[in-house]
């Protein structure tokens, strides 16, 4: 009888590869948990068995400690291929929105990183938007940034131009993530943690890339952390330097790139076209006609090269 009393449902809010912090769904203090037994269903083959947003059943052992008994089926998950671990790493689970964070400078604008994030979000079936932070900076190349941001809008992604530093656009962001579980992704230094601080100053998250350099090689710095608010959840992902997509078949890639997707199967060589130079390729025609941005096409080729 006592046993059922101590079993609860909880949300993963952070974790390494074997110790996790859970928040009981019915509220109350967090629990530090390990997994009972060796493996969890739904988690085999991953670098990390659980990620923020996962819902688990746990046993409260008292003193703020517990044991994870089982994980619920995920509605969706966002992962990348962890090259060091040679396994897919779950960045977040049960997500409503992927915020692909970028900056016009410091670090330099890298739209191809954003393309990878967007493709992974499409593959996972999760809504995504482009969040251009540091919009207070006025670099010489803002024109280049704007040209690509406009293209993201053209192909159907919402784009938010914000500054965590000046507060520009933060109210729009607040409105877009209200009531949702959102994940912030982007290369190191674009301001993911700063954006969360700007939304919720009391959190005082560590910011700056120096820490990440210092912590290089430390597993915990490469794993996600969820922040809980009255009006939703936000997941921060520290230390993302590379974004190698995972779980996409080569032939499926064009379906994960929005403006390419309608052309799937329409080339002369049908589904076997690699869109890399074949005659009668609708994708190449669309690039020539300006319907697919050359940079996005370059992203396509590079991602495709990395897919198994």
Ligand X SMILES: Nc1nc2c(ncn2[C@@H]2O[C@H](COP(=O)(O)OP(=O)(O)O)[C@@H](O)[C@H]2O)c(=O)[nH]1
Applying CB under 5 A, which residues contact Zn ion?
A: 267, 273, 275, 281, 283
| Binding of Mg ion by 191 (CB under 5 A) | no
- Out of 10, 55, 121, 190, the only residue in the binding site for ligand X (CB under 6 A) is 190
- Taking the complex as a whole, the smallest distance from the CB of residue 65 to ligand X amounts, in Å, to 30
CA distance 5 to 250: 49
Residue whose CB is less far from Zn ion, 116 or 275: 275
- Taking the complex as a whole, the smallest distance from the CB of residue 164 to ligand X amounts, in Å, to 4
Of 63-71, 111-119, 184-192, 219-227: span binding ligand X (CB under 6 A): 184-192
- Out of 15, 104, 186, 238, the only residue in the binding site for Mg ion (CB under 5 A) is 238
- Taking the complex as a whole, the smallest distance from the CB of residue 246 to ligand X amounts, in Å, to 21
| Binding of Mg ion by 186 (CB under 5 A) | no
CA distance 308 to 244: 11
Can you give the length of the chain in residues? 308
- Out of 21, 48, 120, 163, the only residue in the binding site for ligand X (CB under 6 A) is 163
- Out of 188, 219, 244, 278, the only residue in the binding site for ligand X (CB under 6 A) is 188
Residue whose CB is less far from Zn ion, 2 or 272: 272
| Binding of ligand X by 127 (CB under 6 A) | no
- Taking the complex as a whole, the smallest distance from the CB of residue 116 to ligand X amounts, in Å, to 16
- Out of 11, 192, 275, 296, the only residue in the binding site for ligand X (CB under 6 A) is 192
| Binding of ligand X by 10 (CB under 6 A) | no
Residue whose CB is less far from Zn ion, 51 or 283: 283
Residue whose CB is less far from ligand X, 30 or 189: 189
DSSP the chain: -HHHHTEEEEEEEEE-SS-EEEEETT--S-EEEEESSS--TT-TTSSSS--TT-EEEEEEEETTEEEEEEEPPPS-EEEEEETTTTEEEEEEES-SEEEEEE-STTTTP-HHHHHHHHHHHHHHT-EEEEEE--TT---TTHHHHHHHHHHHHHTT--EEE--TTT-TTHHHHHHHHTTEEEEEE-STTSSHHHHHHHH-GGG----SHHHHHHTTT-GGGGS-EEEEETTEEEEE-TT-------S--GGGGGGGSTTTGGGTT-STTGGG--SSS-TT-HHHHHHHTTSS-HHHHHHHHHHHHH--
Q: Which residue is nearest to Mg ion (CB)?
A: 193
- Taking the complex as a whole, the smallest distance from the CB of residue 188 to Mg ion amounts, in Å, to 7
CA distance 260 to 241: 26
Residues in contact with ligand X, counted by CB under 6 A, come to a total of 18
Interface residues with ligand X (CB under 6 A)?
Answer: 133-134, 136-137, 163-165, 186, 188-194, 207-209
């Amino acid at each position: 009888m006592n046993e059922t009393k101590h079993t609860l449902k909880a949300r993963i809010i952070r974790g390494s590869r074997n110790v996790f912090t859970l928040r009981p769904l019915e509220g109350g203090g967090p629990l530090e948990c390990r997994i009972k037994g060796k493996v969890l269903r739904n988690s085999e083959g991953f670098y990390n068995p659980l990620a923020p947003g996962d819902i688990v059943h746990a046993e409260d052992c008292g003193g703020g400690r517990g044991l994870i008994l089982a994980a619920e089926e995920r509605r969706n998950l966002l992962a990348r291929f962890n090259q060091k671990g040679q396994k897919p790493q779950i960045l977040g689970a049960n997500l409503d929105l992927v915020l692909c964070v970028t900056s016009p400078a410091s670090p330099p604008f890298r739209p191809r990183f954003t393309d990878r994030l967007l493709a992974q979000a499409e593959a996972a079936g999760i809504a995504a938007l482009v969040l251009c932070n540091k919009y207070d900076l006025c670099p010489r190349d803002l024109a280049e940034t704007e040209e690509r941001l406009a293209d993201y809008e053209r192909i159907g992604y919402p784009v938010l131009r914000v500054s965590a530093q000046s507060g520009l656009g933060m109210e729009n962001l607040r409105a877009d993530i209200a009531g949702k579980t959102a994940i912030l992704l982007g290369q190191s230094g674009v301001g993911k943690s700063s954006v969360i601080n700007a939304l919720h100053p009391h959190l005082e998250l560590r910011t700056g890339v120096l820490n990440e350099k210092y912590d290089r090689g430390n597993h915990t710095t490469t794993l996600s952390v969820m922040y809980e608010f009255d009006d939703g959840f936000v997941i921060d992902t520290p230390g993302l330097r590379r974004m190698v997509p995972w779980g996409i078949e080569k032939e499926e890639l064009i379906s994960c790139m929005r403006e390419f997707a309608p052309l799937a199967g329409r080339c002369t060589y049908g589904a076997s076209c690699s869109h890399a130079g074949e005659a009668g390729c609708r994708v190449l025609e669309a690039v020539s006609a300006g319907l697919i941005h050359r940079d996005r096409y370059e992203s396509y080729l590079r991602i495709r090269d990395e897919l198994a």
